[in-house]
Structure 1
């Protein structure tokens, strides 16, 4: 059944404002919990493992269902899916503050993640359907700026709310934003026509969901199971077997969840890597730097947030500038430039330590903000800008999946590096094993400076790993994508339609 609900063309500017409300909520909730966790632990008696699941349950719910959310938006209406997601997100946020148990917090964090998966793909898809092609990059630049500000501002907002009102307000704050988003969105957003009305790819949904859940869950649990354990290896290998079955399924059916013809454009796959390593670094480093500032340096939650402010403040101009550069120089060059700046910033952060000036962090934070800001609109141009409008939701879902999976894996991998370094130091020093948990969180251990040094050393190793990844993908962007905007690199709607029709 095909909708015919597009009586007038939506205002591009108002559409951008409308989707940024939901985008800001989702970005904010990616990092606000990092600083609120100690207060949650004290109030609800949560264990360290339960606190990790307060973060990871949200990421799992979000990452697993993003492509499905994009497909449902293409099929049943992007405005409808976006507004439904905002409503559920707001309700879940209030429920987290009221529930009164750590188990309830984790459950409603999953609901938050699922609702975020409903709304996030629609934000880019609505922009793609509303803005003319020549202005789409600038729209995504502003989109990226809002997202970066929300992610980087999370620790500061959380610090202020936790100190002044209580940890519950870290979640309650979403309620008024959701109300404004729904009212404004109902007025200004326009519904899209249905992309297709063929049979739904239920098997593809299940297989992709199992794969994404297995990958994220396996990496998250590797810190407690061990990277070489049978559980970790079995989960990861099993997930890739399921992914192989997913690819076979998608290649054989008429109406796939993820049309594989999109990936005939090299830009789509490379653009996914750009987003993956961007948020691997941003979210992973934000998590560890927050622990460093709060625990190792002993700053208050507000002070820690203020010291991370350069990342959010300079993210405001960075993404729009990146969009303008993308329009002028092409996505290939700007994506490589952005990742190159991130590499430099991450390398410079390895010079920072407990005894160095704050400037050793502030300057790299500014460079990191510009690097990430340049990579976001150029990466979106490689993925969504090359996709046909009718598949914008699926392309946006793929893009956002790369963001969330990259962030989840980055946080888990960099945390594991720190934990392994600290564990070795504790073993070598003969210190009690129960010091492992606080030491891995950057808490100074009295009389054992070598353990304190191990945390900082592990942080620096993690920064190097992130820098290497951003550098490698920057090289891939320059070598794999040879030309900009050629028939070989852009998948047009006729090609995808023809491929689907031929199945």
Structure 2
């Protein structure tokens, strides 16, 4: 693999910023990889495990559907607002130091969530957890970029991507076991032993690395405020689009205001001596495309996991463990795909692996169009395999194109950029796809109920339960006659599947567009 570079005036300082690890264990890059894997696994697991715990949290804490969405979205909003800040702090103060603070804070916030006992503090501590996750995540890649030589960085990124993909995919399985056999609180308590182990191992083996040239520079506080405000407004507008309506003044106003603030941030960053996010990074086309497709990658992954778990648990009636086990092919496929994607990227470039991953994810989405309310497992597992392969391929390729194309001095910022793209994409995926499902359920619920044998008048009365049906829950009661109850369950299942098909078609088209963008926009060799 050729040495990554971005043509810029600061290139000369990049090598000067490279750390010289201490002798012994702190000089071993593979121990560094093992140490950051613990923190990365904890964050990845937490990002998807909540989808399994949400139904039980709702029942135990008497939370509404909107409350449960905020359990997920408060975490994602905090991450989106602070990830680039976390990377910049690592470059400036020391990536090891900021990483350890992130691990400690994330672990403490996880325990606090389990002890909360009410939905409002759960949401609040999820935001705190997201902030510390933003300190942790970008510095995992920053530390790897600083200690691995260029020819081995691609394989390190492949293993990094494998840990990230597998931890995300294992979330439903681990969450299902804990929720079913222990409690929903244990989903968060499990971060305590992982976090303590991460702190101990990291303190022993991680070398310190920072951009020495930036230590005397003035910190870009206005840039922090502008970026955080812009990211919060955009993601908030998307999150509220479902309840406010996508064409409402509130939704469009929030998104438009966020985009304006982000544009102001970009303009401001070109005029400041020590920017939070150097705009010169985006001169590299591979880095820019990698950031966009990283967001799309997690838009598809987290959005799909969200509606797939609703389908398996609420429509098909599987327990959390049964649902989690049925998604195991996704985890196994990602184990294979990430290192394979890194090897193929090193040999043939991201121009092969990135579109290939997008095509596989698109195939998974289009295969979901064959699902019905009672499909057998033979129709379920092929999309899981294709999705896992695609996510792993894109993750390893995009990590290489983003962090590998940035100077060592900006490794933390580049890691923050990738992590921001990832988390914003995940937030958008969950919110947009849930909204699409809700809209389709609303328009098809009445006809689906009537087709299943529900009397027209009763179907009209049940139309108000579209929010529950959009979550895969049939609006039945014990007072209903058995035949009517069966008809309502059948009709509600068909309405939800209609919504699932709309979401799957959307992700499939987006993946096709992403594959085309990678083919046309990336070069066969890393840009110099």
Task: Please indicate, yes or no, whether the TM-score normalized by the shorter chain is above 0.5.
Answer: yes
Counterpart of 1:345 in structure 2 is 364
- 5 Å matches for 1:110-189? 110-189=127-206
Report the 3-state secondary structure (helix = DSSP H, G, I; strand = E; otherwise coil) of the residue aligned with 1:254: coil
Counterpart of 1:439 in structure 2 is 469
Counterpart of 2:480 in structure 1 is none
Counterpart of 1:56 in structure 2 is 73
Change in Cα spacing, 1:309 to 1:187, as seen in structure 2 (3 Å) is same
What is the TM-score when the length of structure 1 is the normalising length?
A: 0.94
Counterpart of 1:306 in structure 2 is 325
Give the CA deviation at 1:194. Answer: 3.4
Larger gyration radius, structure 1 or structure 2: 2
Contact 1:14–1:188 (CA<8 Å) still a contact in 2? yes
Match of 2:39 among 5, 19, 22: 22
Counterpart of 1:368 in structure 2 is 387
Counterpart of 1:498 in structure 2 is none
In the alignment, the residues of structure 1 paired with residue 514 and residue 445 of structure 2 have an alpha-carbon distance, to the nearest angstrom, of 35
In the alignment, the residues of structure 2 paired with residue 245 and residue 395 of structure 1 have an alpha-carbon distance, to the nearest angstrom, of 20
Alpha-carbon deviations, 1:342-372, whole Å to 9, x = none? 1112111211222322121111211211111
Contact 2:364–2:386 (CA<8 Å) still a contact in 1? yes
In the alignment, the residues of structure 1 paired with residue 18 and residue 328 of structure 2 have an alpha-carbon distance, to the nearest angstrom, of 45
Alpha-carbon deviations, 1:246-283, whole Å to 9, x = none? 01100101100000000101011100122111110000
- 5 Å matches for 1:9-408? 10-195=27-212, 196=214, 197-408=216-427
In the alignment, the residues of structure 1 paired with residue 419 and residue 278 of structure 2 have an alpha-carbon distance, to the nearest angstrom, of 16
Alpha-carbon deviations, 1:261-310, whole Å to 9, x = none? 00101011100122111110000000000000000000011100011111
What is the TM-score when the length of structure 2 is the normalising length?
A: 0.90
Report the 3-state secondary structure (helix = DSSP H, G, I; strand = E; otherwise coil) of the residue aligned with 2:411: helix
In the alignment, the residues of structure 2 paired with residue 193 and residue 70 of structure 1 have an alpha-carbon distance, to the nearest angstrom, of 11
Give the CA deviation at 1:178. Answer: 0.5
In the alignment, the residues of structure 1 paired with residue 224 and residue 463 of structure 2 have an alpha-carbon distance, to the nearest angstrom, of 43
In the alignment, the residues of structure 1 paired with residue 415 and residue 19 of structure 2 have an alpha-carbon distance, to the nearest angstrom, of 23
Counterpart of 1:418 in structure 2 is 437
Contact 1:5–1:193 (CA<8 Å) still a contact in 2? no
Segments of structure 2 that go 5 or more residues without pairing to the other structure are 1-16, 448-458, 476-484
In the alignment, the residues of structure 2 paired with residue 319 and residue 193 of structure 1 have an alpha-carbon distance, to the nearest angstrom, of 28
Counterpart of 2:450 in structure 1 is none
Segments of structure 1 that go 5 or more residues without pairing to the other structure are 491-503
Change in Cα spacing, 1:124 to 1:51, as seen in structure 2 (3 Å) is same
Give yes or no for the alignment of 1:458 onto 2:499. Answer: yes
In the alignment, the residues of structure 2 paired with residue 6 and residue 358 of structure 1 have an alpha-carbon distance, to the nearest angstrom, of 51
More off after superposition, 5-14 vs 261-270: 5-14
Counterpart of 1:499 in structure 2 is none
What is the aligned-residue RMSD (CA, Å)?
A: 1.5
Change in Cα spacing, 1:11 to 1:360, as seen in structure 2 (3 Å) is same
Match of 2:517 among 465, 476, 492: 476
Change in Cα spacing, 1:265 to 1:3, as seen in structure 2 (3 Å) is closer
In the alignment, the residues of structure 1 paired with residue 133 and residue 143 of structure 2 have an alpha-carbon distance, to the nearest angstrom, of 15
